[in-house]
Structure 1
Amino acid sequence: MSDNHQDHAHEAHTGPIKSGSQLLWSSIAAFVIPVFIIIGLVYYVTSGNKTAAGSTDSERAVAERIMKVGTVEIRDANRPLRAGEEVFKGQCAACHATGAAGAPKVGDADAWGPRLKQGFDTLVQSALKGKGAMGAQGGGDFNDTEIARAVAYMANQSGGKFEEPKAPAAEAAK
């Protein structure tokens, strides 16, 4: 019985590695497996094409944080002013040709009548600063004189008798 007890006690103190070959392979595996795991993690972190959830949201958030606050635009002050009809087609026709958002249609004398009675300057100020559902038109692709020309064009097509504004330099020369 004591022999059996000694064999059992001796066996309890040995590890899972029974031979030199097992020791060699365990040592190699203990070194190689962590190296491959580290290489895989480094590759994942440095790769640009991650498909992790929310990556597009974080990219969008970064783009919004570094977005320009404002822009400076230098315009050619010497370019010829555009005619009222051209400005109307480029800026105003989307609403005033169709009557969208309650805009008076060009050519509808009944809708334009009360507006024409307010005077040309009031109509121009409403266009530049906005009124009702119409946003301010000043400061966009067209200067204030060109917007005034479009107002004159629309009003004249709808029963008004306004003169199209001249270029500011031409008025100063007179």
Structure 2
Amino acid sequence: MSSNKTRKQLMAVVMALIWALVLDIGTALAKEAERSGKDVVDAVCGNCHNSGKDGAPKIGNKQAWSQRTANGLGALTQHALKGIRKMPAHGGNPDVSDFEIQRAITHMVNLSGGNWTEPTNKKAKTADRSGKDIVNMQCIKCHKTGVNGAPKLGDRDAWIPRAVNGMDALVRSAINGHGGMPARGGMANLTDTEMREAVIYMFDQSIKGPH
């Protein structure tokens, strides 16, 4: 009897350990399932950004957000991670991951007149993409036909005057946004190096004259 009782007790301990392991795995998997920008805004960011509480830029206020988007997603993410003015770090919710914050910022920017691409894979390669890749992926949407006054790819006469102040000035203009072009061409996760490569590629292709 004593032996049976001991076995039952051991079995109970084993089952408890198994259930604890299952719960830990479930929690880990749940954390891996990153929420969308909308989900995070609805659950966390909207508490202040829906109304503009404590000076937070109100969702939908194009002017307030345009002043903040010029430096790109990286700078805005750092502000949100560390906290700025009356906004606490991580928006006051430490369970929100860095990646989810990037998505939430992008969602709010897009609701406020922006046209950013929401990050889709936190494990995406960090290597810089080529200028040609970026142009074909994003820039061509406007520069192929001259949407909103964008200089058309291949139009030598349109590109030459834009480089009169040097390539650095032209790249800065693309990074910060200019005229009808949003900051970083509306693709917030482009690095400064990638922006430079894209601008140089378009310029080089265009000064050769019409294709």
TM-score range, shorter chain: 0.5 to 0.7
Displacement after TM superposition at 1:161 (Å): 2.0
Distance in 1 between the 2:54 and 2:122 partners?
A: 32
- Asked if 1:104 corresponds to 2:57, the answer is yes
For 1:76, the aligned partner's letter is A
| 1:123 corresponds to | 76
1:45-91 deviation per Cα after TM superposition (whole angstroms, max 9, x unaligned)? xxxxxxxxxxxxxxxxxxxxxxxxxxxx9951563211100000111
Identity of aligned pairs, percent? 39
Moved over 4 A (4+): none
Q: Which has the higher helix share?
A: 2
Distance in 1 between the 2:97 and 2:28 partners?
A: 11
Structure 2 length as normaliser, TM-score? Answer: 0.43
User: What number of residue pairs does the alignment pair up?
Assistant: 101
Unaligned runs of 5+ in 1: 1-72
Distance in 2 between the 1:168 and 1:85 partners?
A: 17
Distance in 2 between the 1:130 and 1:161 partners?
A: 24
Q: CA RMSD in A?
A: 2.6
Out of 160, 170, 173, the position equivalent to 2:114 is 160
Unaligned runs of 5+ in 2: 1-23, 128-211
Displacement after TM superposition at 1:147 (Å): 0.9
1:100-150 deviation per Cα after TM superposition (whole angstroms, max 9, x unaligned)? 000010010011111011211111111111111101007712211011100
For 1:167, the aligned partner's letter is N
Out of 3, 18, 28, the position equivalent to 1:76 is 28
Displacement after TM superposition at 1:167 (Å): 2.4
| 2:105 corresponds to | 151
Larger Rg: 1
Structure 1 length as normaliser, TM-score? Answer: 0.52
SS at match of 1:93: helix
Distance in 2 between the 1:88 and 1:120 partners?
A: 16
